[in-house]
Protein backbone atom coordinates (compact mmCIF):
# COMPACT_ATOMS: atom_id res chain seq x y z
CA UNK A 1 0.00 0.00 0.00
CA UNK A 2 2.95 2.30 0.20
CA UNK A 3 4.05 1.84 -3.38
CA UNK A 4 2.93 5.22 -4.55
CA UNK A 5 4.72 6.88 -1.72
CA UNK A 6 7.87 5.03 -2.51
CA UNK A 7 7.88 6.00 -6.12
CA UNK A 8 8.06 9.58 -5.04
CA UNK A 9 10.40 8.74 -2.20
CA UNK A 10 12.88 6.92 -4.33
CA UNK A 11 13.67 10.00 -6.28
CA UNK A 12 14.42 11.70 -3.00
CA UNK A 13 16.79 9.16 -1.51
CA UNK A 14 19.93 10.68 -2.96
CA UNK A 15 19.49 13.99 -1.23
CA UNK A 16 17.36 12.97 1.68
CA UNK A 17 18.66 15.47 4.18
CA UNK A 18 18.79 18.38 1.81
CA UNK A 19 15.17 19.43 1.84
CA UNK A 20 14.29 22.80 3.15
CA UNK A 21 11.65 22.44 5.81
CA UNK A 22 8.45 24.26 5.20
CA UNK A 23 8.75 27.70 6.60
CA UNK A 24 5.05 28.01 7.16
CA UNK A 25 2.06 25.76 7.04
CA UNK A 26 0.30 27.37 4.16
CA UNK A 27 -1.27 25.56 1.33
CA UNK A 28 1.00 26.08 -1.59
CA UNK A 29 1.86 22.59 -2.61
CA UNK A 30 4.80 21.76 -4.69
CA UNK A 31 5.14 20.33 -8.11
CA UNK A 32 6.68 17.89 -8.97
CA UNK A 33 10.37 17.24 -8.83
CA UNK A 34 11.31 15.80 -5.50
CA UNK A 35 14.29 18.11 -5.31
CA UNK A 36 12.13 21.14 -4.75
CA UNK A 37 9.22 19.88 -2.75
CA UNK A 38 8.67 20.98 0.76
CA UNK A 39 9.53 24.60 0.06
CA UNK A 40 6.75 27.11 0.33
CA UNK A 41 7.30 30.25 -1.66
CA UNK A 42 7.06 33.47 0.25
CA UNK A 43 3.82 35.33 -0.25
CA UNK A 44 4.18 38.13 -2.74
CA UNK A 45 3.48 40.80 -0.17
CA UNK A 46 3.92 40.96 3.57
CA UNK A 47 0.45 40.91 5.10
CA UNK A 48 1.57 40.27 8.67
CA UNK A 49 0.55 43.63 10.14
CA UNK A 50 -2.82 43.42 8.44
CA UNK A 51 -3.30 39.82 9.62
CA UNK A 52 -2.44 40.75 13.20
CA UNK A 53 -5.08 43.45 13.01
CA UNK A 54 -7.68 41.09 11.52
CA UNK A 55 -7.00 38.34 14.06
CA UNK A 56 -7.70 40.68 16.96
CA UNK A 57 -11.08 41.92 15.69
CA UNK A 58 -13.73 41.04 18.30
CA UNK A 59 -16.41 40.12 15.74
CA UNK A 60 -16.58 39.11 12.09
CA UNK A 61 -18.16 42.34 10.97
CA UNK A 62 -15.48 44.39 12.78
CA UNK A 63 -12.88 42.28 10.96
CA UNK A 64 -14.45 43.07 7.59
CA UNK A 65 -14.66 46.71 8.68
CA UNK A 66 -10.92 46.79 9.37
CA UNK A 67 -10.23 45.22 6.00
CA UNK A 68 -12.72 46.89 3.67
CA UNK A 69 -13.68 50.27 5.10
CA UNK A 70 -12.19 53.58 6.10
CA UNK A 71 -12.64 53.42 9.89
CA UNK A 72 -16.09 51.85 9.55
CA UNK A 73 -17.42 54.95 7.86
CA UNK A 74 -17.54 53.92 4.24
CA UNK A 75 -16.14 51.36 1.85
CA UNK A 76 -12.66 51.85 0.45
CA UNK A 77 -12.38 53.00 -3.16
CA UNK A 78 -13.15 50.48 -5.92
CA UNK A 79 -9.47 50.30 -6.74
CA UNK A 80 -8.49 49.57 -3.13
CA UNK A 81 -11.30 47.03 -2.73
CA UNK A 82 -10.20 45.18 -5.85
CA UNK A 83 -6.80 44.46 -4.27
CA UNK A 84 -8.54 43.03 -1.20
CA UNK A 85 -11.37 41.00 -2.75
CA UNK A 86 -9.93 39.83 -6.09
CA UNK A 87 -7.24 37.15 -6.02
CA UNK A 88 -5.19 36.81 -9.20
CA UNK A 89 -4.18 33.23 -9.97
CA UNK A 90 -2.24 34.29 -13.07
CA UNK A 91 1.55 34.06 -13.21
CA UNK A 92 1.90 31.07 -10.89
CA UNK A 93 5.62 30.50 -10.35
CA UNK A 94 7.19 27.09 -9.87
CA UNK A 95 9.21 26.69 -6.70
CA UNK A 96 12.96 27.14 -7.19
CA UNK A 97 14.33 24.11 -9.00
CA UNK A 98 10.91 22.60 -9.60
CA UNK A 99 9.93 21.18 -12.95
CA UNK A 100 6.59 19.99 -14.25
CA UNK A 101 4.28 22.79 -13.22
CA UNK A 102 3.33 25.30 -10.58
CA UNK A 103 0.60 26.04 -8.07
CA UNK A 104 -0.75 29.26 -6.65
CA UNK A 105 -2.81 29.38 -3.47
CA UNK A 106 -5.27 31.85 -2.09
CA UNK A 107 -5.21 31.29 1.68
CA UNK A 108 -5.39 33.46 4.78
CA UNK A 109 -1.79 34.54 4.29
CA UNK A 110 -1.95 35.46 0.61
CA UNK A 111 -5.60 36.59 0.63
CA UNK A 112 -6.42 37.92 4.11
CA UNK A 113 -10.15 38.30 3.52
CA UNK A 114 -10.27 34.50 3.97
CA UNK A 115 -9.44 34.93 7.65
CA UNK A 116 -11.84 32.80 9.70
CA UNK A 117 -13.94 31.84 6.63
CA UNK A 118 -12.72 28.23 6.59
CA UNK A 119 -11.90 28.07 2.89
CA UNK A 120 -8.98 28.40 0.48
CA UNK A 121 -8.31 27.62 -3.18
CA UNK A 122 -5.25 26.48 -5.08
CA UNK A 123 -4.87 26.51 -8.85
CA UNK A 124 -2.50 23.85 -10.14
CA UNK A 125 -0.83 24.01 -13.53
CA UNK A 126 0.68 20.69 -14.56
CA UNK A 127 2.88 20.59 -17.65
CA UNK A 128 2.83 17.53 -19.89
CA UNK A 129 3.43 14.49 -17.61
CA UNK A 130 3.84 16.76 -14.56
CA UNK A 131 3.12 15.36 -11.10
CA UNK A 132 2.07 16.91 -7.82
CA UNK A 133 3.88 14.44 -5.59
CA UNK A 134 2.07 12.63 -2.74
CA UNK A 135 1.16 14.95 0.09
CA UNK A 136 -1.27 15.47 2.98
CA UNK A 137 -3.29 18.48 4.04
CA UNK A 138 -3.35 18.22 7.83
CA UNK A 139 -6.29 20.57 8.32
CA UNK A 140 -8.55 20.27 5.25
CA UNK A 141 -10.47 18.14 2.82
CA UNK A 142 -9.85 19.08 -0.81
CA UNK A 143 -12.29 19.15 -3.71
CA UNK A 144 -10.36 19.18 -6.98
CA UNK A 145 -11.87 19.97 -10.38
CA UNK A 146 -10.05 19.74 -13.71
CA UNK A 147 -10.63 22.82 -15.87
CA UNK A 148 -8.13 22.07 -18.62
CA UNK A 149 -6.63 18.81 -19.87
CA UNK A 150 -6.85 15.63 -17.80
CA UNK A 151 -5.52 14.32 -14.51
CA UNK A 152 -4.93 10.93 -12.94
CA UNK A 153 -5.21 10.90 -9.17
CA UNK A 154 -4.93 8.56 -6.24
CA UNK A 155 -5.33 8.66 -2.48
CA UNK A 156 -4.82 6.45 0.54
CA UNK A 157 -7.08 7.23 3.46
CA UNK A 158 -5.54 5.78 6.61
CA UNK A 159 -4.77 2.43 8.22
CA UNK A 160 -7.51 -0.15 8.23
CA UNK A 161 -9.55 0.46 5.05
CA UNK A 162 -8.77 -2.97 3.63
CA UNK A 163 -7.03 -6.06 4.91
CA UNK A 164 -3.25 -5.63 5.26
CA UNK A 165 -1.46 -6.50 2.04
CA UNK A 166 -4.39 -5.58 -0.20
CA UNK A 167 -4.36 -2.49 -2.38
CA UNK A 168 -5.68 0.54 -0.51
CA UNK A 169 -5.10 3.18 -3.17
CA UNK A 170 -8.31 4.74 -4.46
CA UNK A 171 -7.27 5.88 -7.95
CA UNK A 172 -9.03 7.39 -10.91
CA UNK A 173 -8.96 9.60 -13.97
CA UNK A 174 -10.54 13.02 -14.48
CA UNK A 175 -11.37 14.70 -17.76
CA UNK A 176 -12.12 18.38 -18.14
CA UNK A 177 -14.87 19.58 -15.75
CA UNK A 178 -14.76 16.41 -13.67
CA UNK A 179 -13.79 16.52 -10.02
CA UNK A 180 -12.92 14.39 -7.02
CA UNK A 181 -12.38 14.74 -3.31
CA UNK A 182 -9.33 14.07 -1.13
CA UNK A 183 -10.52 13.57 2.44
CA UNK A 184 -8.66 15.44 5.19
CA UNK A 185 -5.42 13.72 6.11
CA UNK A 186 -5.38 11.35 3.13
CA UNK A 187 -2.15 10.91 1.19
CA UNK A 188 -2.89 11.99 -2.38
CA UNK A 189 -1.28 12.98 -5.67
CA UNK A 190 -2.16 14.23 -9.12
CA UNK A 191 -0.47 13.37 -12.41
CA UNK A 192 -1.03 14.83 -15.86
CA UNK A 193 -0.99 11.72 -18.07
CA UNK A 194 -1.15 13.73 -21.28
CA UNK A 195 1.25 15.63 -23.53
CA UNK A 196 -0.73 18.85 -23.16
CA UNK A 197 -0.91 21.04 -20.04
CA UNK A 198 -3.57 20.41 -17.39
CA UNK A 199 -5.08 22.89 -14.95
CA UNK A 200 -7.04 22.11 -11.80
CA UNK A 201 -8.89 24.15 -9.21
CA UNK A 202 -8.62 22.75 -5.69
CA UNK A 203 -10.74 24.21 -2.94
CA UNK A 204 -10.04 23.26 0.66
CA UNK A 205 -12.23 23.70 3.74
CA UNK A 206 -9.66 25.61 5.73
CA UNK A 207 -8.11 29.02 5.24
CA UNK A 208 -4.88 27.40 6.39
CA UNK A 209 -5.00 23.79 5.13
CA UNK A 210 -1.23 23.17 5.31
CA UNK A 211 0.68 20.74 3.09
CA UNK A 212 3.08 17.96 4.02
CA UNK A 213 4.93 16.15 1.22
CA UNK A 214 5.03 12.52 2.26
CA UNK A 215 8.25 11.18 0.76
CA UNK A 216 10.26 14.33 1.30
CA UNK A 217 9.25 14.59 4.93
CA UNK A 218 9.63 10.87 5.66
CA UNK A 219 13.15 10.97 4.23
CA UNK A 220 13.79 14.15 6.20
CA UNK A 221 13.77 12.11 9.41
CA UNK A 222 17.11 10.87 10.73
CA UNK A 223 18.65 8.04 8.74
CA UNK A 224 18.48 5.39 11.47
CA UNK A 225 14.73 5.85 11.78
CA UNK A 226 14.29 5.90 7.98
CA UNK A 227 16.35 2.73 7.73
CA UNK A 228 14.32 0.88 10.36
CA UNK A 229 11.05 2.15 8.91
CA UNK A 230 11.98 0.82 5.47
CA UNK A 231 13.05 -2.53 6.90
CA UNK A 232 16.82 -2.05 6.42
CA UNK A 233 16.79 -2.41 2.62
CA UNK A 234 20.02 -3.64 1.03
CA UNK A 235 19.42 -1.15 -1.77
CA UNK A 236 16.71 1.20 -2.84
CA UNK A 237 16.68 1.19 -6.62
CA UNK A 238 13.82 1.94 -8.97
CA UNK A 239 13.87 -1.53 -10.48
CA UNK A 240 13.46 -3.12 -7.04
CA UNK A 241 10.31 -1.31 -5.95
CA UNK A 242 8.12 -4.41 -5.84
CA UNK A 243 10.58 -6.40 -3.74
CA UNK A 244 11.62 -3.36 -1.71
CA UNK A 245 8.00 -2.71 -0.78
CA UNK A 246 7.78 -6.15 0.81
CA UNK A 247 10.63 -5.35 3.20
CA UNK A 248 8.73 -2.45 4.74
CA UNK A 249 7.55 -3.49 8.20
CA UNK A 250 4.10 -2.86 9.67
CA UNK A 251 3.46 0.18 11.84
CA UNK A 252 5.35 -1.12 14.85
CA UNK A 253 8.78 -2.04 13.51
CA UNK A 254 11.70 -3.79 15.14
CA UNK A 255 13.55 -0.61 15.99
CA UNK A 256 16.68 1.20 15.03
CA UNK A 257 19.76 -0.74 14.10
CA UNK A 258 21.99 0.46 16.94
CA UNK A 259 19.44 -0.68 19.53
CA UNK A 260 18.91 -4.04 17.83
CA UNK A 261 22.67 -4.60 17.93
CA UNK A 262 22.92 -3.54 21.59
CA UNK A 263 20.12 -5.92 22.53
CA UNK A 264 21.42 -8.75 20.38
CA UNK A 265 18.33 -8.89 18.16
CA UNK A 266 18.94 -10.19 14.62
CA UNK A 267 16.38 -8.61 12.27
CA UNK A 268 16.64 -11.60 9.94
CA UNK A 269 15.48 -13.94 12.71
CA UNK A 270 13.16 -11.73 14.73
C1 LIG B 1 20.75 0.53 7.32
O2 LIG B 1 20.82 -0.66 8.05
C3 LIG B 1 21.62 -1.66 7.44
C4 LIG B 1 21.45 -2.95 8.23
O5 LIG B 1 21.94 -2.81 9.54
C6 LIG B 1 23.04 -1.17 7.37
O7 LIG B 1 23.84 -2.12 6.71
C8 LIG B 1 23.09 0.14 6.58
O9 LIG B 1 24.37 0.67 6.57
C10 LIG B 1 22.13 1.14 7.19
N11 LIG B 1 22.09 2.34 6.34
C12 LIG B 1 22.34 3.55 6.82
C13 LIG B 1 22.24 4.67 5.82
O14 LIG B 1 22.62 3.77 7.98
User: CA–CA separation, 115 vs 21, rounded Å?
Assistant: 25
138 within some domain: yes
Ligand 1 center to 232 CA (angstroms): 6
| pLDDT for res 37 | 33
User: CA–CA separation, 199 vs 175, rounded Å?
Assistant: 11
Number of folded domains that form the chain: 1
196 within some domain: yes
206 within some domain: yes
245 within some domain: yes
| pLDDT for res 35 | 32
| pLDDT for res 48 | 83
* Ligand 1 pocket residues where CB is under 6 Å: 223, 227, 232, 257
Protein residue with its CA nearest to atom 4 in ligand 1: 232
21 within some domain: yes
253 within some domain: yes
Which parts of the chain sit beneath pLDDT 70?
1-45, 96-97, 253, 270
Which residues pair with residue 145 across a beta bridge? 179, 201
SS3 content of the chain, % helix, strand, coil (to 5): 25, 20, 50
Query: Domain containing 248 — which CATH number?
Result: 2.60.120.10
142 within some domain: yes
Q: Which domain holds residue 183?
A: 2-262
| pLDDT for res 63 | 94
Q: What secondary structure letter does DSSP report for 59?
A: S
Ligand 1 center to 226 CA (angstroms): 10
| pLDDT for res 160 | 94
268 within some domain: no
Amino acid sequence: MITKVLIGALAAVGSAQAYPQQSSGFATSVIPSATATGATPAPTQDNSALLRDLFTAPTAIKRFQRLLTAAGEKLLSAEELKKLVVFDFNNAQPNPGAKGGATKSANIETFPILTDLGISTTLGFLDACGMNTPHIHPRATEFLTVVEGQIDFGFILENGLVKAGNNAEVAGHLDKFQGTVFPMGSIHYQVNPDCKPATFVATLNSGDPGTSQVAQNLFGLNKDVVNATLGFPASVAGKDIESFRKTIPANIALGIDACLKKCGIDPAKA
